[in-house]
Amino acid sequence: MAHTHSHDHSHSHHHHDHAPKITHLTRAFVIGIILNAAFVVTEVVSGFYTHSLSLLTDAGHNLSDVASLALALLAFKLSGVAKNSQYTYGYKRSTIIVSLLNAIILLAAVVIIAYEAVNRFMHPEPIAGGTIAWVAAAGILVNGITAWLFVKGKEDDLNVKGAYLHMAVDAVVSLGVVVSGIIIYFTHWFWVDSLVSLIIVVVIVGGTWSLLKESLRLSLDGIPKELDLEKVKKAMLKTVGVKDVHHIHIWALSTTENALTAHVVIDPSAVASFNHIKKELRHELLHLDIQHSTFEPEFSVESCSNQEC
């Protein structure tokens, strides 16, 4: 049986719609990277100057954000690279690899921070609370602005969502550091600094875990979590002329695009209208957020055993 491969030919207009969004997001990433890199330098200098672990912890966390923003921007650019004879999907999957890498980097940073915080907790050192509070207050501003830049695109792409989450969490973390700075300034309870570091660690792990799970799922060609196999099958079976659908495979091409292949059993009388059936199926699948689909037709008179299909 000849395979019928046919992809959506309306890509050209599909990409034009994205053009303004891409420039908006690129700008958001670049501004975010510059703002956060400048802030990391400020935090590191102040952290060493004041002996504050929570400032250095936050700097480490923000540095991983700069790295993740840079990686996400790179993936975003790569996913737009045209496909070629070696990479027939282009470099779309780089977005998935990057979100996985991001989650791993963050969790690695967390281990180091936790170790240091426990150590400090046992042997607290005197720290300048006032300076900590002022520097962290600047952090709320930087992270808040950066998170706001990504509000628009966060529902469309796992990487943008990752960047948004990072920044929103960071703003909260900076608030925690401000509070600890104020407490230390008035009470000289230096151990509060380590306590805040440990709280930051818990917050980071909480935020990163779902990102790690989802990017791992996509790396292993799992079905993206917003899609439901049964629902997809039902939608396909609704199409006139389709008697059955099996051997369905759904996977993510990138953090924003999904693909499907399936065997479609059609009535022998509907052979002539197979092109129309394909068009209908594609339309249904686009509504379900599956952008690339390939169908192999089978006629209900054929007996299709698992070995053959």
| pLDDT on residue 9 | 43
Beta strands in the chain (DSSP E): 242-252, 258-266, 292-299
| pLDDT on residue 207 | 73
Cα gap 264→298, rounded to integer Å: 6
Query: 3-class SS at 242?
Result: strand
Q: Which residue has the higher pLDDT, 71 or 188?
A: 188
| pLDDT on residue 22 | 64
Query: 3-class SS at 297?
Result: strand
- Average pLDDT estimate for 123-148: 88
List, in order, residues 6 or more apart from 53 with CB less than 8 Å away: 47, 116, 117, 120, 193, 194, 197
| pLDDT on residue 205 | 84
| Residue 5 confidence (pLDDT) above 50 | no
| pLDDT on residue 268 | 82
Q: What is the DSSP string of 176-213?
A: HHHHHHHHHHHH--THHHHHHHHHHHHHHHHHHHHHHH
Domains, the chain, ordered by start: 11-219 (1.20.1510.10), 229-299 (3.30.70.1350)
Please tell me which of 72-81, 265-274, 286-295 the model is most confident about, judged by mean pLDDT: 286-295
| Residue 60 confidence (pLDDT) above 80 | no
| Residue 204 confidence (pLDDT) above 70 | yes
Percent residues over pLDDT 90 in the chain: 24
Q: Which residue has the higher pLDDT, 95 or 4?
A: 95
- Average pLDDT estimate for 191-215: 83
* Per-residue model confidence as pLDDT tens digits over 84-100: 888 888 888 887 888 88
Strand arrangement, sheet containing 258-266:
242-252, 258-266, 292-299
Cα gap 295→309, rounded to integer Å: 13
Query: What type of residue is 36?
Result: N
- Average pLDDT estimate for 35-59: 86
| Residue 76 confidence (pLDDT) above 80 | no
| pLDDT on residue 1 | 44
Q: Give 249's pLDDT tier (boundaries 50, 70, 90).
A: very high
| Residue 15 confidence (pLDDT) above 50 | no
- Residues in the chain, total: 309
Please name the residue that has the structure tokens 């700069």: 66
| pLDDT on residue 115 | 86
Nearest to 178, CA basis, from 45, 58, 7:
58
